[in-house]
Amino acid sequence: WTPRRGLAVAATVAAAFLVFCMIWPLSREFLVYGGFTAIAAATAIVMLALLESGWFGKLLLGFVVLRWIGRVSYAAYLWHLPIMIAVRDNTALSGSRRLALALALTAVATCASWFLVERPALRWKDQIEQRRRAAAREVPREPVGQPAAARGDG
């Protein structure tokens, strides 16, 4: 059961709320007293609209660049914090320049991680799965519950 009436409007309001939460500094009180729940609910509404309707946000989130960022997001998640800390602690740049340097280095580390580690690992996993499927097709199966001696094989 999926409520579809008004889903596009609710998703638009929820997306606007999420953008507001990303841009505006949120107080700890807001987050603790219902803000985290509101953010989770808004995210769920947006995801439901992406899956179940012709909401215009689907077009925005379908851009190639955003899909690629989604594909490498785990590597970006892993690299961003150590790079941000290293740039903060080891440069005398101003705030915006420091942020630009940290984002550029995060992008480089993310790309390197994707092309040098993740893609080869995914190819290796696919090869292992193909071999396992091929081996499963080649192995003859014995009837269940009947020992080889009872069948006359042994």
CA distances from 1 to 45, 57, 78 (A): 14, 22, 37
pTM of the model as a whole: 0.59
Average pLDDT (53-76) is 86
How would residue 96 be classed by pLDDT, with cut points 50, 70 and 90?
A: confident
Report whether pLDDT(38) > 60: yes
CA 78, chain centre distance (Å): 12
- Residue labelled with tokens 């409007």: 9
The whole-angstrom separation of Cα 119 and Cα 110 is: 12
pLDDT recorded at residue 52 = 80
How would residue 107 be classed by pLDDT, with cut points 50, 70 and 90?
A: very high
pLDDT recorded at residue 92 = 84
The H-or-E segment that residue 72 falls in is none
How would residue 66 be classed by pLDDT, with cut points 50, 70 and 90?
A: confident
